[in-house]
Amino acid sequence: MTTARDLAIVALAVTPDRPVERGDLSLALAGAEVVDLVEAEALVVDGDRILPGAQAPTGDGLLDEAVVALRRQEPYESVEDWLWRRGRGLCSAYADDLARAGLTPPPRRRNPLRAGAAQPVDASARRRAEERWSAGEPVLAALAAVLGMRDAPAEDTPELAGDAVATVLAAVGDAVQELGAVRQRRAIEDSAFDNIWRGY
């Protein structure tokens, strides 16, 4: 299992204080993939750019798709651009993949990763994700904090030391904030539009 899969399982199994937005989760999953691929030496984060590394199979279908999707010519893609491009619809892809693997029931289309009734997740996969969650594994905890699923970890956590991971986590946080601002702006515009129509 990977950090991205563990994050998807945690999002299914844990009820956060507020529902996790699909777009936010997609961005966080794309960031988790970068962290997994750095660990697999399939890419390198240089400054804010993603440089391709080995193209050997990772053994995970969605991570292999991510490797194939990497830009392999200069100028290489920024982490932020990757999050937006790779993240498009990624939470649905993970929900579908987990369902195909028998880790979760088929997702509901409206919000495939919102927790409802107890989900029958494969025991070993769920146990591993829950162990990382309970232990406060730094990367998983930091991504969950961006999604509002738990408090932010201490900034001086030694396990988070590392430019690549710090760059990815900062980019995920910025992208989620930007998406939240877009949602808020749209809500204001929609409300203003409704008020105009009510005036007639």
> What tens digit of pLDDT does each residue of 17-36 get?
557 899 999 999 999 999 99
Give me the pLDDT at residue 130, please.
Answer: 86
State yes or no: cis peptide before 52, omega within 30 of 0: no
Write down the residue that tokens 């738990």 correspond to: 150
Q: What is the per-residue pLDDT across 102-150, written as a single tens digit (0 to 9) for each?
A: 766 555 555 555 544 444 556 788 788 889 988 989 999 999 999 988 8
pLDDT the model gives residue 106: 56
Contact 31, 169 (CB under 8 A): yes
Residue 195 confidence (pLDDT): 59
With beta carbons less than 8 A apart as the criterion, state whether 29 and 87 touch.
Answer: yes
- Single out the residue of 146, 186, 158, 180 nearest to residue 7, CA to CA: 146
Output the average pLDDT for the chain: 82
